[in-house]
Amino acid sequence: MPVVLVFSPVPKAQRGWQRMVKLLMSWDIKAGREQPYFEFVVREFAPGLMRLGLQPTEAWYTVYGKGSQILTGAVADDIEIMRRILGGDDWRKLREQLLEYVSNFEQKVIPASGRFQL
């Protein structure tokens, strides 16, 4: 069973959680790229998600065990906003930058529950 460290900021007010959708992402950090990866995430990726209109909800780092090394999520107010964001050039560019540091990237969009989701 994986051992994880978690960072989970308090999300926006619970207003509208039934309508909200969550982008779930997972990946592994490329060997030898750990330091530049963490710098990119703090300086570019997380702020970039917020500029796009996504609110980060959690980030999990797997320290030991099988599974993706990183699991993270971000919410949007509704599916139309999420579609617009994920269909845009800004998301494509941000994702391409992330792929310089990671492998096995996966993403999916699900209804947000306000709880931990896989």
Collect contacts of 38-45 with beta carbons under 8 A, ≥24 apart.
40/97, 40/98, 40/100, 40/101, 44/94, 44/97, 45/94, 45/97, 45/98
Sheet holding 3-7, edge to edge: 3-7, 55-64, 70-76, 21-29, 102-111
Task: Establish if 20 belongs to a structural domain.
Answer: yes
Range of the domain at 26: 16-111
Average pLDDT over the chain, rounded to whole? 86
For residue 35, pLDDT beyond 90: yes
Give pLDDT, residue 113: 82
Q: Name the domain count of the chain.
A: 1
Query: Looking at residue 82, which CATH number applies to its domain?
Result: 3.30.70.100
Band (pLDDT 50/70/90 cuts) for residue 5 is: very low
Task: Establish if 73 belongs to a structural domain.
Answer: yes
pTM: 0.81
